[in-house]
Structures are given as C-alpha cells and as structure tokens.
Amino acid sequence: MNKINLACVVEDDPVHLFLIKQIISLSGLVNHTLVCQNGKEAYEMLASRVSLEENLPELILLDLNMPVWDGWQFLDEFTSISVFQNITVYIVTSSSSEEDLRRAEKYNLSGNYIVKPITLEKLKEIIYQMN
C-alpha cells in the first residue's frame, strides 16, 4: 500500500485531535500531518500553499462543528481555490443528522462522511482507495 505524503486534520476538539493524530501515526501511511483548529485557518493555509506552489495535502479530515469557520464555511471557500493536485476530503464529525448528510451531497461528499471516531481500519481503507 502506498503512503501519502501530507494529510491535514481540521479539528478544534483536543481529544478528537489527539485520537486522529494517534490513528494517523499508527497507520504508518502518512509521512506528514498538518493540523488546523478551524475552517478559516485551514483555508488560509491551503490558499497560501497554492500561491507559494507548495505541496498540498492529499487528504483532509474535516470536522463540521468548529468556531470561527465551521466545516461548511471551509468547503464553500475551498471550492473557490484553484488547486493543482487532487485533494480527497472526508468529513469526520460527531453529527449523524440527516440534514448534514444531505448537505454533504452538495459537495459530493456523502460517501466521504464518517461519524466520529475514525478508526485505524477506516483510515487505511481511505488511503488504500486514494492510491
């Protein structure tokens, strides 16, 4: 199985962030991980990397409920960035509401919707499907 070079976790909850980082580390399939505390921080990081022509994350694990910009605001703005590589986005959230699932369809992410916590097996499956 191929590794991915860079993943980005957009998560404000320290407990979930710790768990996701542990799972990423245990997987052995991600070389580097960026962490953003909210959607605005993630958007600004990506926009900066695009303008500087730096490597972009191949995988973004995105929480929905965060301060400043939530996951939906991030997705609204993210779709306006002209990226030069494929980025796979997975929503990783505590929300299992039908409304959020329907809203994810707007971004073609209904199949990329995980109710927390993400498991090691699920992360491996995601990375395997990306390669």
Q: What is the per-residue pLDDT for 83?
A: 79
pTM for the model stands at: 0.94
Per-residue pLDDT tens over the stretch 13-25: 999 999 999 999 9
Per-residue pLDDT tens over the stretch 41-100: 999 999 999 999 999 999 999 999 999 999 999 999 998 888 778 899 999 999 889 999
Cα maximum dimension of the chain? 39
Measure Cα distances from 81 to 58, 86, 102, 105 in Å: 15, 12, 23, 19
H or E, element range at 77: helix 71-78
Q: What is the per-residue pLDDT for 1?
A: 56
Contacts of 94 (CB under 8 A, 6+ apart): 65, 115, 116
Domains of the chain from N-terminus onward: 4-130 (3.40.50.2300)
Measure Cα distances from 95 to 10, 83, 104, 116 in Å: 15, 28, 12, 8
CB atoms under 10 Å from CB of 56, counted, come to 20
